[in-house]
């Protein structure tokens, strides 16, 4: 069962400038940064708030590290802006299979590693009214490092 909005992914051309905008404008601070080689992105997670299920809600700022990455291709076509929405779930495997059973295309056969050690998969935007949708199971609290 989906429990919260885990994060909103925002594609950007310059991660450092975009982080500075969100810091200076809204006071959001970087909670975590990493490079995800598999997905070809450099990212910053800005924590917005804690949630009642022990998770949190974030803005995920994504800068492509290569033009042929999914985010790189998306930026070339659409420019900067909202790339995807991610919903938190206690069990990404179970929920993605349940959603697949309802006729929605799940983009990964098996969930992959996401930000901060999470497990993720994506749902096809054409099956979700034009919205690329991510399902996220957060890593156990002792498994993450900021």
Residue 39 falls in the annotated catalytic set: no
Catalytic-labelled residue, pool 39, 63, 83, 134? 134
The radius of gyration of the chain's CA atoms, rounded to the nearest angstrom, is: 15
- Taking phi over 0 as left and psi of -120 to 50 as alpha, with beta for the rest, 57 belongs to beta
Residue 7 falls in the annotated catalytic set: yes
Torsion sign across C-alpha atoms 62, 39, 89, 29: negative
Catalytic-labelled residue, pool 39, 63, 83, 84? 84
Catalytic-labelled residue, pool 20, 50, 60, 97? 60
Catalytic-labelled residue, pool 39, 43, 63, 83? 43
Residue 84 falls in the annotated catalytic set: yes
**Separation between Cα atoms, residue 65 and residue 43, nearest integer Å:** 10
Residue 124 falls in the annotated catalytic set: no
Q: Name the E strands within the chain.
A: 2-11, 30-36, 41-50, 56-64, 81-89, 112-113, 119-123, 133-137
Catalytic-labelled residue, pool 7, 39, 63, 83? 7
Q: Which residues are catalytic?
A: 7, 43, 60, 84, 134
């Amino acid at each position: 069962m989906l429990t919260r909005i885990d994060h909103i992914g925002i594609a950007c051309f310059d991660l450092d400038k975009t982080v500075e905008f969100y810091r200076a404008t809204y006071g959001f601070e970087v909670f975590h940064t990493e490079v995800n080689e598999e997905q070809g992105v450099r990212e910053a997670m800005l924590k917005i708030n804690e949630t009642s299920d022990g998770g949190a809600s974030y803005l995920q700022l994504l800068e492509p590290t290569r033009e042929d990455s999914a985010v790189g291709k998306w930026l070339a076509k659409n420019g900067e802006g909202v790339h995807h929405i991610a919903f938190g779930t206690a069990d990404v495997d179970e929920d993605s299979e349940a959603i697949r059973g309802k006729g929605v295309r799940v983009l990964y056969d098996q969930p992959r590693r996401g930000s901060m050690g999470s497990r993720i998969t994506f749902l096809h935007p054409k099956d979700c009214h034009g919205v690329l949708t991510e399902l996220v199971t957060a890593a156990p609290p002792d498994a993450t490092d900021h």
